[in-house]
A and B are shown apart, each in its own frame.
Chain A
Amino acid sequence: MTRRKLFEVLAIGLGNVMGLVLAIPGIAYFLDPLRKMSQSGGFESLARLGQLQVGVPQSFAVIAARQDAWVKYPKEPVGSVWLIRQPDGSQPAVIAYTAECPHLGCAVNLGKDGKSFLCPCHNSAFKFDGKPVNQVPPRGMDTLEVELTKDDDPQVLVKFDRFRTMSKEKTPLV
């Protein structure tokens, strides 16, 4: 190997070492969000069963504390949920849908007729049983886990989760 060739190899090699010393921590730092798990809340009380009318969807805000990067927020509304009470004796007694559209995450509202759900963004439409009415959404509305307390007028507890949009399967975000 000539002296010149040796210098060239050394220059390129050491230059790469320098790049890697910066690039490896830099990439690890940049990819940091992939390491952070999304926070899954517990069951939060939204309403009493007596407040709900059978078959009529009602919208409730989910109140929860949350950590947004460095800021710790006290309990405040973090999302909204549709609750539909089912006829007495049926299981489950209440169905809870997250208002986040499975298409692209806009907030699903009631349609003009009041007999279906309609997303204001791309017109995803759903029946009250959650099944899609048109081809826009990839799947039906996402149900949330519901529990009732043992009181005479039970409280409706809902576990608020978020799911991946644009997918046929209902997959929780992690």
Chain B
Amino acid sequence: MFKALSHWLDGRTGYKALIHEALEEPIPGGAKWKYVFGSALSSTFLIQLVTGILLMFTYSPSSTTAWGSVYYINNQMTLGWFVRGVHHFGSQAMIVLLALHLIQVLIAGGYRAPREVNWWFGMGLLFITLGFSLTGYLLPWDQKGYWATKVATNIAGGTPILGPAIQKLALGGSEYGNQTLTRFYGLHVGLLPGLLVMTLAGHIALFRKHGVTAPKNAKGMGHFWPEQVLMDIVASLAVLGVLVFLVVSEHGANLDAPADPSSSDYPARPEWYFLSLFQMLKLFPGELEVVGTIIIPGAIVTMLMLMPLFDKVLPGKLAHFLACMLVFATVGAAGYLTYAAMDEDANNQGFQQAREKADTERQRAIFLAGSPEAGIPPEGSAYVLLRDPLSHGKSVLTKKCLGCHFFEGKGQPIQGDDGKEATSPQVASDLTGFGSYSWIRGLLEKPSDPKYFGKVAGAGGMAGWKAKSKLTSEELDKVAAFVATFAQIPDDVTSDEWTVDPVVFAHPGAELFVNECGKCHVVNGLTEGGEDSPNLFGWGSTRWTKRMIQRPGSVDLYGYMDPHQQMPGFAGQLTENDLTTLVKFLQGDYPKE
């Protein structure tokens, strides 16, 4: 049955002759392990093609959706982490195999006449593969891809004359955004694969025309099928085995926090195989930069391209020797620079700290993306961290508030006199737990403690009260518990509505509060107040705290203080999101792991 069918098909297509032609290629000197690199590269490209197409089924190229879709592949889909991991490590295997293939061909003299054109096809494939790396790195739109690509495209932009136009075309404008992603995506999944397949077809066709570069003393004749094919398959399987091992042991590929163009301390590094170029830039500062970015790489590429022509001007052995030396020197220098770059980072505390911070952000972003309380909003993945009180609110607190206030016993990190890390001096209260029972209870216990008003000039009112007050510890507990309820008053409840709620007066601390605190503090509808002090209606609530941050000098807050001693108002200096996340951070209102 099968025979009849294959006979019929062969009659119509002639496929048997085609397969025979493809497999029965003679190999002078027989099959050899050193011939496997080209086939292993082709197999790895197939792996990239298969995993790449699978990723395309989910990946969504836009600055709002790219990170989210990659997160979804990595963390939500069945074996998505495996598919993406194989693609990620496969791209690195391509580079390693390319280098090995190139060196093998070089040593065998496979670039020399009559195979010059095929060497150039190989060079073309090398550049296409590097193009895949550069374009693919950006696609997750995470911090790593964003900053590395920014550096790479700025290098391209620094090329004399055409640079700015090339850069603008690559980015799809002068800013990094949706157009950058769609253009890189088009290159990565459309143009480059097409070019690669066509060039590879030419490469293989020419290879078949000239055959392997057999050793001079080669004896006998082997065949592609099955000896060489078996070796090729064993090599490809070994590559796949290494990939699977890497993917499983690393649990897939890393996904950094969503791209944030405003981050000031992201330690951008390219993928390891570009580290040597990255490091070389440091050797050519200022005006000389172009030597490191364009001239040296350009010279190496030119030499590689011209290599087959060395034989025309030099004696054969010398030409081969020089070609090998050129490549070995390049590989050696690249290896040294890569080591230098890694060594420098390993000993750079600033880099380590910045990387640690980036990792904290990465973990937080991934946690939030999967949290039912947060998730990725439709506005885009950049908002995952931007709307997070623990990430953004805390950062606003550190930048805007901790110059004076403390949080968890510390101010802003600064460099101390001895060069070590220190904290900015405290001139205002510690905001840890502000608005909570424990904060207010601690204040009532010792207002002059540095945690409260001890460091605040002109805020001795509470300390004055404490010196005279006769309230017992239990009574203070009750008062503190009552004041802590103020933070729970919803923003849309007016003081009139609140004071008529019988629950308010029924609180065991209410009467004590009115008699003791009400002599100074106003609470709309509850106490009349008296001496200089802020209105406590809604103290610690979102409404009160936002107003305190924006207009602390209002008459109902600290307007009674000397303007020099008042807290500076932040109205107009914070966005609505800054303010909301800051207040929620102080209130401890954010998704927790």
Contact = CB atoms under 8 A, between A and B. Distances in A.
Nearest to A9: B226
Interface stretch (A70-78, A91-99, A160-168): A70-78
A14 B234 contact: yes
A107 B492 CA distance: 39
A37 interface: no
A22 B233 contact: no
B83 A29 contact: yes
Contacts of B244: 21
A73 B378 contact: yes
B227 interface: yes
B233 A18 contact: yes
B68 A31 contact: no
B4 to A, nearest CB: 22
B111 to A, nearest CB: 29
Interface string B54-84: 1001100000010011011000111110110
B77 A70 contact: no
B229 to A, nearest CB: 5
B369 interface: yes
Interface in A17-58: 17-18, 21-22, 25-26, 28-32, 35
Contact of A22 (B50, B72, B377): B50
A32 B77 contact: yes
Given A11-B229, A69-B69, A71-B68, A26 B83 contact: yes
B226 A7 contact: yes
Given A10-B230, A15-B233, A72 B80 contact: no
B237 interface: yes
B78 A32 contact: yes
A67 B378 CA distance: 10
A70 B83 contact: no
A51 B57 CA distance: 46
Given A14-B237, A18-B237, A72-B377, A29 B230 contact: no
Interface size class of B (residues with CB under 8 A): 35 or more
B72 A69 contact: yes
A25 to B, nearest CB: 4
A26 B226 contact: no
B72 A29 contact: no
A17 B233 CA distance: 10
B581 interface: no
Given A26-B51, A29-B80, A71 B71 contact: no
Contact of B54 (A7, A30, A69, A72): A30
B240 interface: yes
B522 to A, nearest CB: 38
A13 B237 CA distance: 11
Interface string B80-98: 1011001000000000000
A71 B378 contact: yes
B376 interface: yes
Contacts of B237: 14, 17-18
Nearest to B73: A29
Contacts of A69: 58, 68-69, 72
Contacts of B68: 69-71
A11 B230 CA distance: 5
Contacts of B65: 70-71
Interface in B217-248: 225-227, 229-230, 233-234, 236-237, 240, 244
A4 interface: yes
Contacts of B377: 71-72, 74
B196 interface: no
B375 interface: yes
A18 B240 contact: yes
A171 B40 CA distance: 51
A8 interface: yes
Contacts of B43: 18
A70 B230 contact: no
A72 B230 contact: no
A7 B77 contact: no
Interface of B: 43, 47, 50-51, 54, 57-58, 65, 68-69, 71-72, 76-80, 82-83, 86, 225-227, 229-230, 233-234, 236-237, 240, 244, 369, 374-378
The 10 closest A-B pairs by CB, nearest first: A72-B375, A70-B68, A7-B226, A70-B72, A11-B230, A25-B79, A32-B78, A8-B226, A32-B77, A14-B233
Given A18-B233, A22-B47, A70-B71, 5 more contacts: A14-B234, A22-B50, A28-B79, A30-B54, A74-B377
21 contacts: A8-B226, A14-B234, A17-B237, A18-B240, A21-B244, A22-B47, A26-B51, A29-B80, A30-B57, A31-B78, A32-B80, A67-B375, A69-B68, A69-B72, A70-B65, A70-B72, A70-B376, A71-B375, A71-B376, A71-B378, A74-B377
